[in-house]
Structure 1
Amino acid sequence: MATAEKLHGPEHVARYLETDGEDGYEWREGTTILLLTTTGRKSGEDRTNALIFRPWNDAYLVVASKGGDDAPPAWFLNIESDPAVTVQVKADRFEANARVATAEEKPALWKIMAEAWPAYDDYQRKTDREIPVVVLERTAGADA
């Protein structure tokens, strides 16, 4: 069995799902991981990604960094097409709405995320693309 620190990509998602996050929630350098499921903008199929997150108010924050690539991650393009997503934090699964942090919110939210994963600052320096912070807000009626 892979240790959580070594998990990445589809293997990380599979272990997280199999164990309700017991294996995969805690990751590298003290970070925590949630699962974000989007609807593929071309395929219409569910696409699930393991992402570093931080709680913020009643929402969760993730960063669409793709390691500083000039192109955004596919999951971000999917939420631009359809912001209705499913989020899983450990065993808690719920429907949410994904939105990009506003220009007013972003500096404070970026700081929260860069404290969680300092490499985000390096990723931003690698690209001219403004890397967005995405806010995942539980939809009304979703179990708390």
Structure 2
Amino acid sequence: MSNTHSPRDASVPVRRPWLPPRWFITLFWHGHRALVRVTRGRVGLWRPKPDGWGALRLTATGRRTGQPRQVVLGYIADGRNLITLAMNGWGAAEPAWWLNLRANPDAMVETRDGRRPFHARPARPDERERLWRRWAEIDEHLDAYAARRQRETAVVVLEPRDGTDLLQQS
């Protein structure tokens, strides 16, 4: 489901959904991350809405440097877990933050509700389909965007490490 399209009538032309140029996506990421950093998270982080995603700041350990690395990501909530996609702006390469988490899965996550330690893992096959469908309900072009990538887009599950429910604390 994640990198395939549904069957269609061959006589209907397929129109790929529009994405901004890669330079713009990269510039936007850097600007968004800077905005979150400068405002100490007061601007640029938001909770997911019932029909939308939220934004969080993830701090992971660099796999090569051992230094903290920060990125702002979109997410949805799944019970106590936070779910994001390792999509790299739909570029071909795996995102550096996901490679860092695969090397060292413990990270700090900051949302509008505070900072908490999390453990990252790829979604298990049985939960991946369910979580992908939830994202597809939010973004109708998800499968078409994912089809631009040569590899399957990882669904990343962030599980709280400290036993608290981040989303229920104010």
Query: TM tier, shorter chain?
Result: 0.7 to 0.9
**Is the 8 Å Cα contact of residues 75 and 82 (structure 2) preserved in structure 1?**
yes
Over the residues paired in the alignment, what is the CA RMSD in angstroms?
2.4
Q: Work out the percentage of aligned pairs sharing the same amino acid.
A: 34
Unaligned runs of 5+ in 2: 1-26
Aligned to 2:30: 10
Aligned to 2:135: 113
Q: How do 1:68-107 and structure 2 match up within 5 A?
A: 68-107=90-129
Unaligned runs of 5+ in 1: 1-6
**Is the 8 Å Cα contact of residues 64 and 72 (structure 1) preserved in structure 2?**
yes
Aligned to 1:46: 68
Offset from partner CA, 1:64-90 (integer Å, 9 cap, x none): 011322221000100110000110002
**Is the 8 Å Cα contact of residues 21 and 91 (structure 1) preserved in structure 2?**
no
**Is the 8 Å Cα contact of residues 94 and 143 (structure 1) preserved in structure 2?**
no
- Which whole-Å CA distance do the structure 2 matches of 1:143 and 1:32 have between them? 16
- The 1:14–1:122 alpha-carbon spacing in structure 2 relative to 1, beyond 3 Å, is same
Q: Give the TM-score normalised by structure 1.
A: 0.82
**Is the 8 Å Cα contact of residues 110 and 116 (structure 2) preserved in structure 1?**
yes
- Which whole-Å CA distance do the structure 2 matches of 1:131 and 1:38 have between them? 19
Offset from partner CA, 1:101-134 (integer Å, 9 cap, x none): 0111011101122333344322211122010110
Task: Choose the corresponding residue for 2:89, options 67, 70, 83.
Answer: 67
Q: How many residues align?
A: 137
Look up the SS of the partner of 2:44 in the other structure: coil
Look up the SS of the partner of 2:109 in the other structure: strand
- Which whole-Å CA distance do the structure 1 matches of 2:57 and 2:164 have between them? 16
Q: Rg: which structure is higher?
A: 2
1:56 and 2:86 are equivalent in the alignment:
no
- Which whole-Å CA distance do the structure 2 matches of 1:83 and 1:62 have between them? 14
